[in-house]
Amino acid sequence: MAQRLLARFEVEATLVALLPVHVGNRDSELTQDAPLACNGRGEPYIPGTSLAGPIRAWWRDAFGDKADLEFGRIEARDKGRDPASLGYASLISVADAPAHLPAGLTTELRDGVGIDRQSGAAATSIKYDRQVLPAGTTFALKLRFDVVEGLATADIARQRLAALVAALQAGDIAFGAAKTRGLGRMQAKGVKVFERQLATRAGMLARLRGNSNAATIPDAQLTEWAAAAGANARDGRVDIVVSWQATRPVFNKSGSIGLVIDGLPLLGGGFDANTPTALTPVLTGASIKGALRAHAERIWRTMAGWKCDLESARSSFLASIEMDLVSELFGSVGKSGKTPKAGDCDDRPDDAEARAAHGLGALAVEDCVVGPAVAPGEWKRIVEARAADVDQAVIAAQAQVDAATSWKDSNARDGLKRGSARIANHVAIDRWTGGAADALLFNQLEPPAPHRRQFRLRLDLARLGDACGIGLAEAERQKAAKCKPFDQAKVDAAELARDRAIQKRNAAVALLMFALRDLALGHIAFGFGSTRGFGSIKVDSIAFENPGATAEEYGFTADKALPVERLDDRTAFASFTEAEKGWVGYWTAWRANDTEKAKA
């Protein structure tokens, strides 16, 4: 397809990883389950496709489903040579971005395990590890946007590109895998946007001759254009900030061990902006989200009177955690689906095609730093401490822990003694003799208890609505309304399906509110050893930040925090009337349906 080029915009920026990043490959010969993607030089990098994909998804959310024509189109094979159906390549191209790790840091390995909902122990065959780039890693972003005649005017292109730049600078676009489980959030810094005029003969010749005829667009101009773009990608989003503290250690256990220390806390680099090389104890977003999901499942099973079948749960862990509301809110294994086109009466998908595909969850949780930083040199001395005698080696390791000044108790100012890091010895008890069991002595390095930390959750109401089938049901309603001959019964059925999808979305929000309530009441523990004294927290506040227009209308107002001291009172959620109605309506319909099944 011949296209007349009017202008070209070029964006250069540095993407800084605010959280660890994973972009994987499929090399099964490596030792990790999910190794990092590497270029031909063996360097970790983000392929241009992995950058362009999230950018395109943001573009569609910001400007509508039909607004992503700039990213190309596949030719419609059944439309003949109709010019409107011809395909063309993307007008926006993104170059590969090699990773530049902070000096002194290397890639990290994170372990994960599924928890059997029946036994509470590790699920069979659901153990995995993932190689990640640490927070603070930088990538050089180079993006080019060609404006061609017939698709978008130069003014629209400027506005949309400026809105994209603003979203990148705000850290609203995540890249790579596990974007809702603590990975992939980046922020663009040092952004420069250039515009080249190629519509004239003089401009084209200057570009071909290598002359720099690019005009740098000022930041003020970009801000003005972004405001005029009308981007609404954040309309349904809200950040939920849970402030908490603990008197006992809260941490994830690392998959690695020391020379004499059997259990080490998971540490991550790059989280301390002042000291990028420092290592800090981290509670991963996957761990936090998993604990919240397990509790939400418990609430759902209680309401439904549903009992988990032990044998089926062991044979299929993923099937055992698939349940209404929870899957839409927290995500599930993606399912392919077909979204019908409004007004197309003949192309009606069957039930299997029309089901809503869950996939990515509507709730994202960031990693949480849960302790003071320790210098890499100090950490190396702790891990590699040794002596000829095992007991003396443990003593030597404890001495290195005590020497790590940042891990000494420095919280006396708040009147709450949290203690320093320590190596704690444990032993299993022989059930017959009552004494120590043979060969079952082990130790664990416990980091200092965290002081006033925050969980950051992000809820996307638009994503939740799609997962509940609101968009699909609305498309069906529009299609039924336009079909000839007109059939009122079909329109009524489609409207009922849409209302039920909205009800389901509202019930899912209510489920999240109940989980937050129980979190504030101290019913949810996090991290390692949550059944052995670790992981309990005291919630100080639950606040809403940066709500979009749709989220604010729903009740997530920035000036109203949830009253933690009375969350067991129904009036605490008075502003979420739609969620309460949806919860009651959902379970009323559920029980009616259950009764009908019992009669049948």
Model confidence band, residue 82 (pLDDT cutoffs 50, 70, 90): low
pLDDT of amino acid 414: 38
- Between 77-86, 282-291, 530-539, 563-572, the lowest mean confidence (pLDDT) is in 77-86
Alpha-carbon distance of 418 to 412, in angstroms, equals 8
- Between 256-260, 465-469, 588-592, the lowest mean confidence (pLDDT) is in 256-260
Does the pLDDT at position 143 exceed 90?
A: yes
Nearest to 583 by CA among 517, 523, 522: 517
83 versus 254: the higher-pLDDT residue is: 254
Alpha helices in 331-459 (DSSP H): 351-354, 376-383, 390-403
Structure tokens at 328: 């839409």
Mean pLDDT of 280-294: 92
pLDDT of amino acid 262: 85
Does the pLDDT at position 584 exceed 80?
A: yes
The torsion defined by the Cα of 278, 281, 287 and 292, in degrees rounded to 10, comes to -110
52 versus 323: the higher-pLDDT residue is: 52
Structure tokens at 227: 């405001």
pLDDT of amino acid 169: 94
496 three-state secondary structure: helix
485 three-state secondary structure: coil
71 versus 539: the higher-pLDDT residue is: 539
pLDDT tens-digit readout, 239-279: 999 999 987 889 998 888 888 888 888 999 888 777 878 88
Neighbouring C-beta atoms of residue 489, cutoff 10 Å:
8
Q: Which whole-number Å values give the CA distances from 71 to 9, 67, 147, 438, in the listed order?
A: 15, 9, 11, 64
pLDDT tens-digit readout, 357-402: 557 889 999 999 988 888 888 888 888 887 766 667 777 777 777 7
Mean pLDDT of 478-494: 81
412 versus 133: the higher-pLDDT residue is: 133
**DSSP assignment of 338-371:** -PPPTT-SS----HHHHSPP--S-SEEE--EE-S
Model confidence band, residue 440 (pLDDT cutoffs 50, 70, 90): confident
Model confidence band, residue 484 (pLDDT cutoffs 50, 70, 90): confident
181 three-state secondary structure: strand
Q: Is the peptide bond before 47 cis (omega within 30 degrees of 0)?
A: no
pLDDT of amino acid 244: 94
Is-contact 123 114, C-beta < 8 A?
yes
pLDDT of amino acid 473: 83
pLDDT of amino acid 42: 86
Nearest to 553 by CA among 516, 509, 504: 509
pLDDT of amino acid 78: 58
Is-contact 89 72, C-beta < 8 A?
yes
Long-range pairs, 320-326, Cβ under 8 A, ≥24? 320/117, 320/118, 321/117, 321/293, 321/297, 323/297, 324/300, 324/504, 325/296, 325/300, 325/504, 325/507, 325/508, 325/511, 325/586, 326/293, 326/296, 326/297, 326/300, 326/511
Is-contact 111 254, C-beta < 8 A?
yes
**DSSP assignment of 61-82:** HHH-GGG-GGG-B---GGGTT-
pLDDT of amino acid 101: 92
Model confidence band, residue 425 (pLDDT cutoffs 50, 70, 90): confident
Is-contact 176 183, C-beta < 8 A?
yes
Tokens 């660890």 appear where?
A: 20
Highest mean pLDDT among 130-139, 149-158, 347-356: 130-139
404 versus 93: the higher-pLDDT residue is: 93
Structure tokens at 34: 């999910």
- Between 14-23, 514-523, 538-547, 566-575, the lowest mean confidence (pLDDT) is in 566-575
Q: What is the mean pLDDT of the chain?
A: 81
Q: What percent of the chain has pLDDT over 70?
A: 82
pLDDT tens-digit readout, 18-65: 999 999 887 655 677 888 889 888 899 999 999 999 999 899 888 876
Mean pLDDT of 67-88: 66
288 versus 599: the higher-pLDDT residue is: 288
396 versus 427: the higher-pLDDT residue is: 427
pLDDT tens-digit readout, 173-230: 999 988 999 999 999 999 999 888 776 777 777 777 666 667 788 889 989 988 888 8
First and final CA of the chain: distance in angstroms? Answer: 59
